């Protein structure tokens, strides 16, 4: 008796033969195939197993026999293309401060890529193969999704092979994904205000803001920063800062600029410092600002303002007819004098050491840098001293050069001038170096205040 058992998945069939006392004829392969067809087993049949079970039963028809006679063909699944982005265009909601607190202003640093870094890796997929059940049913695969091939735009290079597409950075900056185009920009552009939606802006490259920098938010950059409208928050940049609007400060906001600052006006700013110049197209009111070089204000510097500019100040009006307590300081070189003092303190023992070496070896040997005139047994020690002497002389020369540069800066500061184009009002204090001058009556401009080289007092002259 021949029987076939098919599993529920129709992936496997088992053929069994049991002894039949009423039939002593040998089993044939055709009989087995016929039974398989009746049980709808038409695919994946093992001829080897078919013949083996037939021969084994015919050899000993008194014993039952059973074996797997057919197996379906499993499908090989499709492998879809894999996209591994090394950046994100989404924004964090904020930084976790505690178990139940989120700092919504702190959304992280904007990613800045350097040349050679990978932006995107695409591992190529491949089609699968369909499967087949033992009843002949074809098991289809899902299709391979079309490859989304991105265009390598400015600052991006594409390396590809048979298995991968790799997009790499060629110019430093942050990535921009515009549709299917991937490019690098060295400037971060923000359309709108720096506010709770954007959080603080931290980016190594240049930053351009089309709106305002609101109070309580800050911008940090290693390059130039441009703010189209008003600045009320904090900024720290190693580059220049430009604003088409004004700067409105508070005790909690700080602005530190490595280069130059250009803006419309400065009002109630207590912590503003630049390494270069400050230029305001309108006024400076009730502010404490420090410029590494010059300050230029088209209209007036007034109120309780203190303006410190090492190389000079230019403005339309200084102070006000209401007697504001405005102070201008130029040529302040206390830090430079401290540096010069430290250089002198460092050089003094070096010079003493070099004099001792002159006494030991003699000036001629040191000048010629040659110890051959000495007895042979004295030369090793002399060479050692000569080497030390030359090292000291090199250090002293370098320090003297630095000291000379600082002294030139001090002199430049003392030559600084305060130029007032319209009027210097009473109550204004002018300080150049260590000297003070208080304006006691209105002085019409254009005039320049300066430190007289001979009398060492501050005076002024009218400009023609």
- Give the mean pLDDT of 348-359: 86
- Pair 203, 186: CB distance under 8 Å: no
Nearest CA-CA partner of 106 in 93, 87, 124, 121:
93
User: How confident is the model at residue 410, as a pLDDT?
Assistant: 80
pLDDT in tens, 195-232: 888 888 998 899 999 999 999 999 999 999 999 999 99
DSSP 425: P
- C-beta neighbour count of 216 within 10 angstroms: 16
- Pair 263, 243: CB distance under 8 Å: yes
Residues 197, 201, 207, 212: is their CA dihedral positive or negative? positive
Is the pTM value of this prediction over 0.75? no
Query: CA–CA separation, 68 vs 16, rounded Å?
Result: 9
Query: CA–CA separation, 450 vs 420, rounded Å?
Result: 12
Query: CA–CA separation, 101 vs 112, rounded Å?
Result: 28
State the pairing for strand pair 156-160/164-169: antiparallel
- Pair 126, 78: CB distance under 8 Å: yes
User: How confident is the model at residue 107, as a pLDDT?
Assistant: 52
pLDDT in tens, 17-37: 998 887 778 889 998 999 999
Q: Bridge partners of 379?
A: none
Residue 151, token pair as written in the block: 């265009």
- Mean pLDDT rounded to a whole number for the chain: 89
User: How confident is the model at residue 91, as a pLDDT?
Assistant: 54
- Give the mean pLDDT of 146-163: 94
Instruction: Answer whether the bond into residue 114 is a cis peptide, omega within 30°.
Output: no
Domain boundaries, the chain: 2-71, 82-130+138-185, 187-332, 334-414
Quickly tell me which residue has 């720290």 as its tokens: 236
- Pair 17, 29: CB distance under 8 Å: no
- Give the mean pLDDT of 343-361: 86
Taking each helix axis from N to C end, the angle separating 379-414 and 334-361, rounded to the nearest 10 degrees, works out to 160
Quickly tell me which residue has 């630095």 as its tokens: 402
- Give the mean pLDDT of 67-71: 93
pLDDT in tens, 241-271: 999 999 998 778 899 999 999 999 999 999 9
pLDDT in tens, 269-285: 999 999 999 999 999 99
Query: CA–CA separation, 371 vs 361, rounded Å?
Result: 9
User: How confident is the model at residue 197, as a pLDDT?
Assistant: 84
- 134 pLDDT exceeds 60? yes
Quickly tell me which residue has 């420090």 as its tokens: 290
- Give the mean pLDDT of 73-92: 84
Q: What is the DSSP string of 337-400?
A: HHHHHHHHHHHHHHHHHHHHHHHHH-HHHHHHT--TTS-GGGHHHHHHHHHHHHHHHHHHHHHH
User: How confident is the model at residue 108, as a pLDDT?
Assistant: 62
User: How confident is the model at residue 162, as a pLDDT?
Assistant: 92
pLDDT in tens, 434-460: 889 999 999 998 999 998 888 889 999
- Pair 414, 433: CB distance under 8 Å: yes
Query: CA–CA separation, 334 vs 323, rounded Å?
Result: 29
Size of the chain, expressed as the number of residues it contains: 464
């Amino acid at each position: 008796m021949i029987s076939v058992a098919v599993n529920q998945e129709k992936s496997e069939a088992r053929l069994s033969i049991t002894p039949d006392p009423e039939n002593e004829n040998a089993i044939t392969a055709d009989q087995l195939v016929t039974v398989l067809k009746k049980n709808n087993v038409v695919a994946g049949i093992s001829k080897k197993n078919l013949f083996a079970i037939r021969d084994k039963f015919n050899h000993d028809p008194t014993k039952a026999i059973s074996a797997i006679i057919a197996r379906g063909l499993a499908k090989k699944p499709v492998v879809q293309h894999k996209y591994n982005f090394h950046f994100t265009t989404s924004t964090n909601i904020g930084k976790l401060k505690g178990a139940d607190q989120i700092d919504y202003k702190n959304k992280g640093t904007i990613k800045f890529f350097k040349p050679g870094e990978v932006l995107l890796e695409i591992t190529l997929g491949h089609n699968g193969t369909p499967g087949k059940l033992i009843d002949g049913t074809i098991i289809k695969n899902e299709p391979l999704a079309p490859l989304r091939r991105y265009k390598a735009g400015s600052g991006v290079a594409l390396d590809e092979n048979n298995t991968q597409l790799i997009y790499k950075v060629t110019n430093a900056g942050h990535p921009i994904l515009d549709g299917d185009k991937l490019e690098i920009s060295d400037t971060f552009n923000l359309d709108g205000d720096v506010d709770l939606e954007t959080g603080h802006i931290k980016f190594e490259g240049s930053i351009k803001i089309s709106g305002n920098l609101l109070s309580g938010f800050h911008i940090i950059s290693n390059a130039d920063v441009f703010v189209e409208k008003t600045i009320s928050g904090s900024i720290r940049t190693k580059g220049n800062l430009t604003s088409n609007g004004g700067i409105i400060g508070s005790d909690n906001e700080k602005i530190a600029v490595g280069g130059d600052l250009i803006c419309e006006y400065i009002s109630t700013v207590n912590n503003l410092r630049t390494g270069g110049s400050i230029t305001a197209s309108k006024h400076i009111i009730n502010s404490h600002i420090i410029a590494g070089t010059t300050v230029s204000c088209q209209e007036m510097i007034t109120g309780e303002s203190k303006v410190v500019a090492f190389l000079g100040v230019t403005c339309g009006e200084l102070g006000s007819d209401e007697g504001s307590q405005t102070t201008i300081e130029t040529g302040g070189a206390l830090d430079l004098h401290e540096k010069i003092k430290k250089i002198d303190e460092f050089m003094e023992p070096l010079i003493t050491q070099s004099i001792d070496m002159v006494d030991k070896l003699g000036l001629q040997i040191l000048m010629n840098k040659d110890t051959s005139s000495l007895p042979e047994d004295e030369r090793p020690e002399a060479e050692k001293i000569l080497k030390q002497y030359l090292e000291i002389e090199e250090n002293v020369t370098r320090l003297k050069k630095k000291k000379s540069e600082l002294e030139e800066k001090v002199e430049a500061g003392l030559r600084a001038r305060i130029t007032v184009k319209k009027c210097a009002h009473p109550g204004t204090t002018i300080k150049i170096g260590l000297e003070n001058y208080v304006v006691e009556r209105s002085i019409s401009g254009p005039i320049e205040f300066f430190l007289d080289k001979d009398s060492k007092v501050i005076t002024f002259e009218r400009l023609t």
